[in-house]
Amino acid sequence: MPATMQGVFFLSREIEYRLSLANGGGDGPLRRDGDEADVTAEDTPSLSVVAGTFRGYIGKRFVGIGQEIVVGPVVPPVGGSPGDLRRIDLVQYTYGIGANIKTGVESGTPSVPSADSDSIEFSDLYLRNGMSVIKDADDSTNGYIVKSATFI
State the residue range of the domain holding 129: 26-147
Rounded CA separation 25/29 (Å): 12
Residue 95 lies inside a defined structural domain of this protein: yes
Residue 132 lies inside a defined structural domain of this protein: yes
**Which residues does residue 28 pair with via DSSP β-bridges, in sequence order?**
57
Number of folded domains in the chain? 1
Residue 107 lies inside a defined structural domain of this protein: yes
Instruction: Report pLDDT for 35.
Output: 60
Residue 11 lies inside a defined structural domain of this protein: no
* C-alpha to C-alpha distances, 105 to 74, 89, 101, nearest whole angstrom: 13, 8, 13
* C-alpha to C-alpha distances, 111 to 62, 92, 108, 125, 133, nearest whole angstrom: 29, 16, 10, 11, 20
Q: What is the pLDDT of residues 114-124, one digit of tens each?
A: 999 999 999 99
pLDDT band at 7 (very low <50, low <70, confident <90, very high): very low
Instruction: Report pLDDT for 37.
Output: 75
Residue 1 lies inside a defined structural domain of this protein: no
Instruction: Report pLDDT for 34.
Output: 63
Residue 44 lies inside a defined structural domain of this protein: yes
Q: Is the pLDDT of residue 24 over 80?
A: no
Instruction: Report pLDDT for 10.
Output: 47
Residue 139 lies inside a defined structural domain of this protein: yes
Residue 39 lies inside a defined structural domain of this protein: yes
